Structure 1
Amino acid sequence: MTRRLGMLCRMRPELRDEYLALHAAVWPQVEATITACGIRDFTIWSHGDVLVASFSYVGDDYEADQARMAADPTTQAWWARTAPCQVPFDDGLEPGATGSWQLLDEVWHLD
């Protein structure tokens, strides 16, 4: 069964250009790890400094695949570059590689 997910965070305005440049040339190993961990159709949009991401998960154990992705050294290096560019959408959350992104509740979907 495919699971659709959406996430939200903000870019630090002073690091916007750096974040966009990184995503204009995502490292191939990062993309390979994302795919190996069951993620498909991953898209990030921006509106001003707001980032919205959506993707489909096609694996059997989302938490285990997320842990496997987080343990990957190349992904960790990628997150070390992208995390400083991001801040949580809600000010009360801790910034971080994955902590800046907040999961969204799906309200409606049309296939």
Structure 2
Amino acid sequence: MPERIAFRMKVHPGRIEEYRKRHDELWPEMVAALKAAGISDYSIWHDPETDCLFATLVRTDDHTMDALPDTEANKRWWKFMDDIMDYGPDGRPTVVALDRVFQLD
């Protein structure tokens, strides 16, 4: 059964319009990598008070999301985005997994 997950990231203050622009122009090879990994229904929301980004996505049972960081498209995307987002010393975006506390179907 597909699984919906949620996580939080952070955009640098004053950089949300650039973040939005880059996602409006998301590379076709990044879209293909996400879909090949079993990811769909991916949404990112911005909290203007904190500059936190809240994301949700659906992944298939046989997803390969854990291998996505090893793809060339993903490596390039992360490098492209590192000037406007919080990143860790490992070169990956700082991501905080969120636990579901309620769902209305």
Same fold (TM over 0.5): yes
Note the 1:54-65 alignment, pairs <5 A: 54-60=56-62, 62=63, 65=64
**Partner in structure 2 of residue 7 of structure 1:** 7
Note the 1:1-111 alignment, pairs <5 A: 1-48=1-48, 49-60=51-62, 62=63, 65-87=64-86, 94=88, 96-98=91-93, 100-111=94-105
Q: Which one has a larger percent helix, Structure 1 or Structure 2?
A: 1
Q: How many residues align?
A: 102
**CA deviation after TM superposition for structure 1 residue 68, in Å:** 2.5
Distance across 2 between alignment mates of 1:45 and 1:58: 22
- State the identity %: 27
**CA deviation after TM superposition for structure 1 residue 26, in Å:** 0.6
Distance across 1 between alignment mates of 2:61 and 2:84: 29
Q: Which runs of 5 or more residues in structure 1 are unaligned?
A: 89-93
Distance across 2 between alignment mates of 1:59 and 1:31: 19
Change (3 A) 1:59 1:33: farther
Distance across 2 between alignment mates of 1:43 and 1:16: 15
**CA deviation after TM superposition for structure 1 residue 87, in Å:** 2.0
> Which stretches of structure 1, 4 residues or longer, exceed 6 Å deviation after superposition?
none
**CA deviation after TM superposition for structure 1 residue 13, in Å:** 1.1
**CA deviation after TM superposition for structure 1 residue 14, in Å:** 4.2
SS at match of 1:26: coil
CA RMSD of aligned residues (A): 1.8
The answer on whether the counterparts of 1:8 and 1:52 sit within 8 Å (CA) in structure 2 is yes
